[in-house]
């Protein structure tokens, strides 16, 4: 692991026994809505081979297995998570590591759907997305959800963790999506905290390849599809 990954593996490892929802989120309602956004962006996953990068507590990978994915692989740099998940969820193939490890990626092979939820703030954005893209089968999709660097709320976390926490901007994600070879399409969505959270905490915008937001969204959703 590189220095950033080592920092976060240790940081989250210390929380592994007390966490109940995704550790980047304040509550499980935000997590639940994010699940829906990710599943919609991935498209049908039944009988498909899926990879969840930065699987954390394993909720998304387990959900992919539950809805009929042919095979699900979940990887994370936090060994404590993976050890527990291997005992709790045998339907998923769990592993320790990240896309920074070329040897691991070669062993894992290729996938029809790859998710990176709350991961890109901890890793080199372009290199990570390009590695995921190289592991994607024709007709497959890569989907990422990540904090928006330009959001004032996110800025507090950036200030707290400095160089270990570097989420991308809209422009960075657009630049990556625009440069992917053999892409049949890509787009971004913004996720804004809604004033009325009776039904959902986030207001989610429509897909745009080069969105222009009136104010900075809290989260960005990135999706790219590879031509068949």
Q: Which fold has domain 3-226?
A: Rossmann fold (3.40.50)
Q: Answer yes or no: is pLDDT of 21 > 70.
A: no
pLDDT of residue 100: 94
Q: Which of 26-40, 103-117, 151-165 has the highest mean pLDDT?
A: 103-117
Q: What is the mean pLDDT of residues 193-206?
A: 93
Per-residue pLDDT of 62-104, as tens digits, reads 999 999 999 999 999 999 999 999 999 999 999 999 999 999 9
pLDDT of residue 19: 61
Q: Answer yes or no: is pLDDT of 61 > 90.
A: yes
Q: What is the mean pLDDT of residues 194-211?
A: 94
pLDDT tier for residue 16 given thresholds of 50, 70 and 90: confident
Q: Answer yes or no: is pLDDT of 23 > 60.
A: no
pLDDT of residue 28: 82
pLDDT tier for residue 206 given thresholds of 50, 70 and 90: very high
Question: Domain residues of the chain, as ranges?
Answer: 3-226
Burial class (CB in 10 A: 0-12, 13-18, 19+), 90: exposed
Per-residue pLDDT of 95-151, as tens digits, reads 999 999 999 999 999 999 999 999 999 999 999 999 999 999 999 999 999 999 999
Q: Answer yes or no: is pLDDT of 168 > 80.
A: yes
Q: Answer yes or no: is pLDDT of 11 > 60.
A: yes
pLDDT of residue 201: 94
pLDDT of residue 132: 98
pLDDT of residue 31: 87
pLDDT of residue 14: 83
Q: Answer yes or no: is pLDDT of 20 > 70.
A: no
Average pLDDT of the chain is 94
């Amino acid at each position: 692991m590189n220095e950033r990954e080592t920092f976060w593996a240790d940081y989250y490892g210390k929380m592994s026994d007390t966490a109940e929802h995704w550790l980047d989120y304040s509550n499980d309602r935000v997590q639940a809505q994010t699940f829906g956004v990710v599943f919609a962006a991935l498209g049908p996953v039944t009988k498909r081979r899926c990879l969840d990068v930065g699987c954390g507590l394993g909720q998304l990978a387990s959900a992919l297995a539950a809805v009929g994915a042919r095979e699900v692989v979940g990887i994370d740099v936090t060994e404590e998570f993976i050890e527990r998940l291997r005992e709790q969820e045998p339907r998923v193939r769990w592993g320790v590591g990240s896309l920074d490890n070329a040897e691991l990626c070669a062993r894992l092979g290729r996938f029809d759907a790859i998710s990176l939820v709350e991961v890109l703030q901890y890793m080199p954005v372009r290199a990570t997305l390009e590695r995921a893209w190289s592991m994607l089968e024709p007709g497959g999709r890569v989907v990422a959800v990540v904090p928006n660097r330009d959001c004032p709320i996110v800025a507090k976390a950036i200030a707290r963790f400095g160089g270990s926490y570097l989420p991308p901007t809209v422009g960075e994600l657009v630049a990556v999506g625009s440069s992917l070879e053999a892409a049949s399409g890509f787009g971004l969505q913004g996720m804004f905290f809604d004033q009325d959270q009776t039904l959902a905490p986030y207001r989610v915008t429509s897909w745009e390849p080069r969105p222009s937001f009136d104010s900075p969204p809290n989260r960005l959703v990135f999706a790219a599809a590879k031509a068949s």
